[in-house]
Structure 1
């Protein structure tokens, strides 16, 4: 029976009708600090002047566009092809640079992967391969010369052929 007295019974629970959060605690209890006042006093004129400059620049741009539009219409037979040509040239230059950069990076990647696989420098490998190829070509040339000499026979090989 002592255990049932310690546990609260459902009819003993109290419900408070007051809100858990006090509305006055959401609002600041004191006024702004001196740093906040100084920031507002400093930034308000700066922001207002920048906004005014933006408006002036917008009006100037619209007036310039209104003045230049007839000139664009009059000179459009010259300006449109010139703009297309200029855009094509810029596109070509940028594309060429992009392809060149891609090619160089691809070669760099191939060389690095070659170094990792073989553990050797690619120039040493290329030099050795060139020497082997030159020796092989020399041997094949010597064999071809001997084959031609054997097919030609001894009389033509001595220089006593035609006169």
Structure 2
């Protein structure tokens, strides 16, 4: 009896509890069960509304079709006259959006170039300039110290020569 229970538990993918409904080999968590319980009525309601919209559209089309045939001598020339104007506005907007996105892409590409390799080169040049300035300053200090030492030696030597 105990062996048959163990075999049944081994055959079930989830082990104990709810057997692998969501992921094979894993038990369903409380949040997953709550998500399914919550989303099932919402999905059903939305599916009902989609069907209701389809029925309403079909009824409206059935009512409007005879009106389209009756007024077609007026509607067709109006559509032929207004259609190109609407298409022109749509084309203009599409070209504007395309131009704006192209300019935006170019600006971001140039910024990435400036911030990328060029920015690194500028940083290296600044670093080298600072290092060179530091080396020049150090050399100037050393040279100044040497000049001061020699000036002291000359003044000491001149004072000794004057005493003798």
TM-score (norm 1): 0.43
TM-score (norm 2): 0.42
Q: Which has the higher contact order (CA 8 A, sep 6+)?
A: 2
